[in-house]
Chain A
Amino acid sequence: MAGRAPGTRRKVPASVLVAGATTTCLLLGGCITLKAPDKPIVIELNINIKQEVVYRLAGDASQTIDSNKDIF
Chain B
Amino acid sequence: MARKFGFFQRVVASLAVAGMIPALLVPGAALAQRDPAYAAARAAGQVGEKTDGYLGFVTPPPPPLKAVINELNIKRKAVYAEKAAAAKATVEEYALTSGCLLISQTKPGEKYQGPDGSWQTRTSAPPLRDSRCP
- A and B interact: yes
Chain A residues with a Cβ under 8 A of chain B? 46, 49-51, 53-58, 60-62, 64-65, 68-72
When the two chains form their complex, are residues A69 and B97 in contact, meaning their CB atoms are under 8 A apart?
A: no
Asked whether any CB of chain A lies closer than 8 Å to the CB of B107, the reply is no
**Residue B128 lies at the interface, judged by CB distance under 8 Å to chain A:** no
B interface list, Cβ under 8 A from A: 31-35, 52, 72, 75-76, 79, 83, 87, 89-90, 92-94, 96-98, 100-102, 105, 130-134
Q: What distance in Å separates the Cβ of A8 from its nearest Cβ neighbour in chain B?
A: 71
List 20 interface pairs A-B (beta carbons < 8 Å), by A numbering: A49-B92, A50-B132, A51-B131, A53-B89, A54-B97, A55-B134, A56-B87, A57-B93, A57-B97, A60-B87, A60-B94, A62-B101, A68-B79, A69-B34, A70-B32, A70-B35, A71-B75, A71-B76, A71-B79, A72-B102
